[in-house]
Amino acid sequence: MRNTQNDRGGNNRTQIDKQKQKENYKFEERQVIVLPTKSKRELLIRKLFPKEEKDFTPALKNNKYNMLDRLSETVGFPILNPENEIKQGNTSMRTDIIASIGDTDYKVIIENQLTTSDSDHIGRLLMYMSKEDTKFGILLSTRLKRDHENFFRWMNSKGFYLYGIDLVTYKVYKDRDLFIIEFNPRIIPENTPLRQLTELQKRYSIFFKSLSKKLNKKLRSQPMTHATKEITGIGKSGMSYEIGFHTGFFGINLVSHISGAKQKNIERIKEIENYKKEIESRLDQNLDWIYYENDDNKKKAYVGMRIPCKRINEMTSNQMDDFVDLIIPKIKQFINTIQPYVKRLK
């Protein structure tokens, strides 16, 4: 179950304590976490990286905490040979990061913004892309605004490949200052000229094809090369089961995602939560009941269970096969337990 916790340091903390604590920040696999509201996203990322150009950009470029590897996983291609703070012509402006895309001749520009997206940073991203003569660009921000999301979609329809990624920062619950950064994809272009699958995408494809065959269910929505999939056709419009890999666990969720009807999505899951005690008793596990009531950009609501696991790129082929066999009965148990309550919904 998710909990809330105030992440502010005590007023009497000394400067030495603050420095020592900063040095001891660690990125661990997801444990019990606090899901940040929009305002907390910037607060938490700034605690880890006070200055974007001096702290965050060098850390990303140097793959600190494996952040560059994880960003590569998110966008679906290897980001190699990154260079940061490259001066653009005779101007005082500098590119945050320019990098190669795998073993291709393509370059990608990464523009970092430790706040909500704004037109200034998007303008810089496009200008740097024009200077480097590339159509690939990534904007990292704490939240991509809806207008900017629509702009990225329009640009991608015109032959560009703009990626909008949210930096979502979690604080591990309890008494230690441990944080997790996740790269949440908001805009991922389709039909890019990058034909070759990354090793990670190949693993996802192999895993989910095996799971689909053994589960005897079609996995839809995202391509097989993505980390999460949907099981649709559950007899209730605007609802589906979502399964997939997250940081430190494999999630099995019932999601209500009626377009433009956030309150209806919340009401549906809360109606099922009325039977929380008996549902969790049958599953012998506490579940997550998530409504995103403080985040206007997230319209869905869901109830889900977690199965701890390694990252898929850390599994051997035999371990992948064993994990498929492990989760199939759990997926079936979750669906069989939840489905009667779905049918009762008005």
How high does pLDDT run on average in the chain?
81
In a domain, 168, yes or no: yes
The set of residues, in sequence order, having a beta carbon less than 8 Å from that of 81 and lying 6+ positions away, is 99, 100
In a domain, 302, yes or no: yes
In a domain, 1, yes or no: no
Contact 114, 9 (CB under 8 A): no
Structure tokens at 284: 């012998």
Domain that holds residue 133: 20-187
Q: Are 37 and 145 contained in the same domain?
A: yes
Q: Are 183 and 206 contained in the same domain?
A: no
For residues 48 and 55, what is the distance between their CA atoms, to the nearest angstrom?
A: 8
pLDDT, one tens digit per residue, over 227-273 is 777 776 678 888 988 898 887 899 999 999 887 788 999 999 999 99
Q: Are 177 and 203 contained in the same domain?
A: no
For residues 227 and 127, what is the distance between their CA atoms, to the nearest angstrom?
A: 32
pLDDT, one tens digit per residue, over 185-223 is 889 988 787 755 567 777 887 888 888 888 876 665 445
pTM of the model: 0.51
More confident residue, 101 or 137: 137
What is the count of structural domains for the chain?
Answer: 2
Q: Are 84 and 41 contained in the same domain?
A: yes
Report the pLDDT value the prediction gives residue 168, as an integer from 0 to 100: 81
Q: Are 240 and 100 contained in the same domain?
A: no
Examine the pLDDT at 89 and tell me if it is beyond 60. Answer: no
Q: Are 181 and 208 contained in the same domain?
A: no
For the segment 305-332, the average pLDDT, to the nearest whole number, is: 92
CA of 120: how far to CAs of 43, 96, 126, 134, 167, in Å?
21, 14, 10, 19, 18
Q: Which residue has the tokens 């001066």?
A: 87
Examine the pLDDT at 14 and tell me if it is beyond 70. Answer: no
Q: Are 137 and 231 contained in the same domain?
A: no
Report the pLDDT value the prediction gives residue 102, as an integer from 0 to 100: 79
In a domain, 11, yes or no: no
Q: Are 206 and 180 contained in the same domain?
A: no
Report the pLDDT value the prediction gives residue 275, as an integer from 0 to 100: 96
Q: Are 239 and 168 contained in the same domain?
A: no
CATH number at residue 138: 3.40.1350
In a domain, 149, yes or no: yes
